[in-house]
Amino acid sequence: MKPDDRQKLIANLIRGKGRLKVETLADELGTSRETIRRDLTALADKGLVRKIHGGAMPPRADTEGPFSQRMLENAAAKQRIATAAAGLFEAGDTLFIDTGSTTLCFAEALAKRTGLTVVTNSSAIAKVLSQAEAGHRVYLLGGEFNGDNLETGGELALEQIRAFRANHVVLTIGALEARAGAMDFNIEEAQVARAMIAQSQSVTIIADESKFDHIAAFEVCPLERLDRLVCDAPPSGELARRLEAAAVEIVCAPRAFSE
C-alpha cells in the first residue's frame, strides 16, 4: 500500500473510532509500528490527527488557535493553493477577500498580478496589496478591530460590505463537509463571509485538505453556492460526490517535487 493511501486509511480509522493506539493501527494495517509512527507524524503535520502518547486521536474541531500559529500550519500547502488561486483572476476584477492564514498567502501571490480592485476586512491583506507595484485599488473595511488576526468585524463592517459589488469573493474557511457545506469557527468571521457572498457573483473557497470532512460551529454557505474550490488534494467520498453534484469546479494545486 502506498504511504498516501495508508495515511488516508489511518485518518479515516481515527476519525471513525476516535483514539487509537499505534499497536492497534499496526495490527489493523499489517505494518510495523515504526511505519505507523511516521504516518501519524505526517498526518499530525497536516492537521488531520492529533498525536497523543502511544497513538493518536481526531483533531480538535471546535476551535482554532492563534493566527500566528495558523500561519505555520500546513504552510507549504497554503503557499501552493495561494499560487494556484492567484492565477484565476484577471485585471479589472473586483474581489472580496476575507481574513485568514490562507487568504493572506493568497494576497501575497495576488500582489504579483495587476489591476485588481480588492475589498477586505484584513489590514494585513490590505497592506500587502496596497504596497505592491501592480496598480491595485484596495479598500479596507471598518469595524471593531481584532488585534490577533488584524481584522475588522461587527455590524459596521457588514454595513460597509453592502456598499460594494464584486465579481468574486475569495474565502478561507474552518471546515467543509458534505451536508453542512462551508463553515467557520468564529461567528463574526462567518457573518462577514456570508455578507461578502451576498454581494458577489462568484464564490471561491481556498482550503487545504485538513478542512475536509469536519464540522465547525457557524454556517457560511451550502456547497451549492460555491463556484470553485482551490485545494492541495482532491476531496474524496461523499464530499467529492456532493461537490460534483453541485457543479463546483475543483482546482488542485500541483505538489512541489520536494514535498
Count other C-beta atoms under 10 Å from residue 186's C-beta: 20
Tens digits of per-residue pLDDT, 197-222? 999 999 999 999 889 998 888 999 99
Decide which of 62 and 114 is more confident: 114
Radius of gyration, CA atoms only, the chain: 19
Domain map of the chain by residue range? 3-57, 67-252
Beta bridge partners of 119: 96, 139
How far apart, in Å, are the Cα atoms of 155 and each of 34, 55, 73, 191, 194? 52, 45, 30, 9, 13
The single residue listed with the C-alpha cell 495576488 is 110
Count how many Cα atoms sit within 13 Å of the Cα of residue 139 in the half-sphere of its side chain. 15
Q: Is a pLDDT exceeding 90 seen at residue 241?
A: yes
pLDDT, mean over the chain: 89
Q: Model confidence at 23, in pLDDT bands (50, 70, 90)?
A: very high
CATH architecture of 3-57: Orthogonal Bundle (1.10)
Determine the pLDDT at residue 72: 52
CATH architecture of 67-252: 3-Layer(aba) Sandwich (3.40)
Distance of CA 98 to the CA centre of its chain: 11
Tens digits of per-residue pLDDT, 136-153? 999 999 999 988 778 999
> What is the rounded average pLDDT of the residues 29-37?
94
Alpha helices in 179-251 (DSSP H): 187-198, 237-245
What distance in Å separates the CA atoms of residue 147 and residue 143, rounded to the nearest whole number?
A: 12
Determine the pLDDT at residue 53: 80
Determine the pLDDT at residue 149: 79
Determine the pLDDT at residue 13: 87
